[in-house]
Amino acid sequence: MSTPPPAWLPEGMSSPLDDKLGVRITDYDPDRLVATMPVAGNEQPFGLLHGGATCTLVETIGSVAAALGAGPDNQVVGVELNVSYLRAATAGTVTAVCTPVRRGRSLSTFLIDVSDAEGRRTATARLTCMTLAARNRSGRDGG
């Protein structure tokens, strides 16, 4: 890991779905987050990486990028996801690289490129997230 997660980011921030799919963030650089996911176990019936698995990968890395930009006193939610599939991945590991387009007070947009083990782009995505005040466990705004 080149850039570790900030100390305030909750440990084990991955979701149960991320765990099932094997999504792992390998670099937390806020200007270039990197995550990986195995193709094995995430294929559709024809042996190709499932589009839903790709969406999970890009939504996860983009949401973490938004959370890093929003800071510890806020939470983020995705409001738009657009994914274009360019080439099928059939084996190995895919790698997603997320870069910010715009980090605003209430909306942030990120571009995410997904590549196969040979470095060939398999998908490109755009994710927009909204920043909200953090909610406490009771569901009310505030700390």
Q: Which residues are catalytic?
A: 59
The two tokens of residue 23 are 């999504």
C-alpha span between 40 and 74 (Å, rounded): 35
Per-residue exposure over 3-16, b if at least 16 CB sit within 10 Å of its own CB, e if not: eebeeeeeeeebee
Terminal CA-CA length for the chain? 31
Reduce the DSSP state of residue 114 to 3 states and report it: strand
The two tokens of residue 91 are 């084996």
Question: Maximum distance among all alpha carbons in the chain?
Answer: 47
